[in-house]
Amino acid sequence: MIKPKKSIRNLKEYNTPKSRNKSDIKLDFNENTIGCSNAIIKEINKLKRQDYATYPQYENLNKNISNYCKVKPEEILATNGSDDAIKLIIDCFVDKKDKAIIIEPTFSMYEFYLTIASAKITKLNYNKNLSFPTQKILSKICKKTKLIILCNPNNPTGTIIKKKDIIKILNKNRNSVVLVDEAYYEFSKQSVSNIINKYPNLIITRTFSKAFGLAGLRAGYIISNKENIKILSKACSPFSVNLIAKIAINTALKYQSETKKYCNDIKKNKTLIQKLLNKVKIKTYPSESNFIVAKFRDSKIILEKLKQRNILVKDLSINKSLNNCLRITIGDNNKTKTLEKALKDIFKPCLIFDMDGVLIDVRNSYRTAIKKTVEFYTKKNISYNEIESYKKIPGFNNDWTLTQAIITSRKIKIRKSIIINKFQEYYLKEKNKIFRGLINNETWMLKKDLLTKLSKKYTLAIVTGRPKIEAEYALKLNKTRTFFDVVIAKEDTIKEKPYPDPIIKAIKILKTENAIYFGDTINDELASKKAKINFVKINNNSKTRNINKTLERYLK
Ligand SMILES: Cc1ncc(COP(=O)(O)O)c(C=O)c1O
């Protein structure tokens, strides 16, 4: 084997789209999802065999592109895709060991071509909220900085860079080339093309791959002042734009209304998908592109679930700051409908219930056991209302802890284990593994027919602070065990509610991203909040069975 040069030896391979089937919905490479204009296909079909045999002539190509960009023809250079444009700029302006700045996470080809050029790469990071780090960049630009690459809007974050920030960077060192990659310009509608003559160090790249739907043909271009274009033209392959790409570009620019409509649809569809995800508490980041970044609890699960439905998206977890984030290309209306349906199905909510006071009326069991235990040790009566007011205090989810706290507040000191024994004596009255205590006084509150209907529409689970044996006993007694896929009880986690641990455990087992917790106390509410799921307060009292009314709404 002949050893390649050092920079090539260390090069990481670029991940080109792999294993995509014809039937796949490709939302993984920010492509146009309906394809290019039919007018382009018509024009290409007019070609004769002799046309293929001759080198392309570019006639009005520059003029057409320059009209579109509102610049002069000599300020344009057409390239073989914008990848080719980026490489050409690096070839022309970056020598071995020259300093170049990129801001990560960003389009991987910048590092790729800079590595081949043996440049010294400074990688800065986007801010934590994915906003653009202007000050950080300004502080890193020095006399030796040869190139700064800005992706606007950025791929993969969708972040837009304000024009005034680009100008600050252009001004910092007039000898540093500032490459502004506007691959997604048609979606963002923001450009610095009108200041190319004011800033001689500004070079812009654009592409026909995205909004115009011509990624397969490889068509891009550079916009800069005419001196820069002259330099770049010198190093550019003379026929870098092939005959078909040339025809496609000219025709695409003739039929711009189709592209404009597509971009408008993308904008609408982007809002729709963002809203849908936000509704199920999935964070999305602002994007001025044809894709969005969304942060999931576990991106691998969503990636897989979408794949099962033939929808391909890109996992961005490889970037530390984008752990569990997926980049989802936004497509045309039909693809968006399919994506919407898939996401609604994946995020079908899981209803998680607390037991006591929500599914089960415990006034005559747990509450009575508290009352009897307190009264046994303090020899003083305590009302149910007083017990309820204690229950409203965070941290008293566990009835044993609560019983001890009431006894202590009455200035009597008893060890917790002794209190637990007494409590259980009232509650379970266990003999030969048979419970004869207050536990048998409990009533199940959620109507069975409603439970049956709910179980058909949702996944159901229980997260309770009860010991496992007592939870399972109640479910068996009421013949409701089979309705619940998961039952998390006291022993299942070290920390109890109001810590989120039991709810998080249930969510992990259920592999759900969308869960609602139905609880009756402040502990339930705090635990849900910390587990980042929705909480619905149930106000059962002996007269109103609020749980039934509340859940009927979930069947509509
Ligand atoms: C930011 C950015 N620049 C450039 C490109 C490359 O586009 P082209 O197909 O024109 O090479 C892409 C493609 O994904 C991109 O995201």
pLDDT in tens, the chain (556 residues): 888 888 888 787 777 767 778 889 999 999 999 999 999 999 999 999 999 999 999 989 999 999 999 999 999 999 999 999 999 999 999 999 999 999 999 999 999 999 999 999 999 999 999 999 999 999 999 999 999 999 999 999 999 999 999 999 999 999 999 999 999 999 999 999 999 999 999 999 999 999 999 999 999 999 999 999 999 999 999 999 999 999 999 999 999 999 999 999 999 999 999 999 999 889 999 999 999 999 998 899 899 989 989 999 999 999 989 999 999 999 999 999 999 999 988 888 899 999 999 999 998 999 999 999 999 999 999 999 999 999 889 888 899 999 999 999 999 999 999 999 999 999 999 888 899 999 999 999 999 999 999 998 899 999 999 999 999 999 999 999 999 999 999 999 999 999 999 999 999 888 787 899 999 999 999 999 999 999 999 987 655 678 999 999 999 8
> Distance between CA atoms of 37 and 252, rounded to whole angstroms?
7
CA of 47 to the centre of ligand 1 (A): 28
Which of 84, 107, 290 maximizes ligand 1 atoms within 8 Å of its Cβ, making it the mutation to test the pocket? 107
Which of 86, 210, 242 maximizes ligand 1 atoms within 8 Å of its Cβ, making it the mutation to test the pocket? 210
Pick the residue whose CA is nearest to atom 3 on ligand 1: 183
Q: What angle in degrees, to the nearest 10, is found between the helix axes of 384-391 and 399-409?
A: 110
CA of 183 to the centre of ligand 1 (A): 6
Residues 6+ apart with CB under 8 A from 426: 368, 369, 372, 373, 437, 438
User: 329, 327, 305, 306: which is closest to 316 by C-alpha?
Assistant: 327
Tell how strand 283-284 and strand 220-224 pair up: unpaired
Tell how strand 291-295 and strand 283-284 pair up: antiparallel
Evaluate whether 148 touches 110 at the Cβ level (below 8 Å): no
Counting from 1 in the atom list of ligand 1, the atom nearest the Cα of 107 is 1
Q: Hey, which bits of 239-349 come out as E strands?
A: 283-284, 291-295, 311-312, 314-315, 325-329
Greatest Cα pair distance, the chain, in angstroms, is 108
Task: Tell me: cis bond preceding 349? Omega within 30 of 0 counts.
Answer: no
The tokens of 68 are what? Answer: 């579109």
Residues having CB closer than 6 A to ligand 1 are 30, 81-83, 107, 151, 155, 181, 183, 207, 209, 215, 220
Counting from 1 in the atom list of ligand 1, the atom nearest the Cα of 30 is 14
Q: Is 56 exposed, middle or buried (0-12, 13-18, 19+ CB in 10 A)?
A: middle
> Distance between CA atoms of 224 and 201, rounded to whole angstroms?
9
Tell how strand 515-519 and strand 350-353 pair up: parallel
> Distance between CA atoms of 506 and 492, rounded to whole angstroms?
10
Task: Tell me: cis bond preceding 4? Omega within 30 of 0 counts.
Answer: no
- Helix, strand, coil in percent for the chain, rounding step 5: 45, 15, 40
Counting from 1 in the atom list of ligand 1, the atom nearest the Cα of 29 is 14
User: 460, 469, 456: which is closest to 428 by C-alpha?
Assistant: 469
Counting from 1 in the atom list of ligand 1, the atom nearest the Cα of 81 is 10
Pick the residue whose CA is nearest to atom 12 on ligand 1: 183
Evaluate whether 356 touches 523 at the Cβ level (below 8 Å): no
CA of 445 to the centre of ligand 1 (A): 59
Evaluate whether 506 touches 517 at the Cβ level (below 8 Å): no
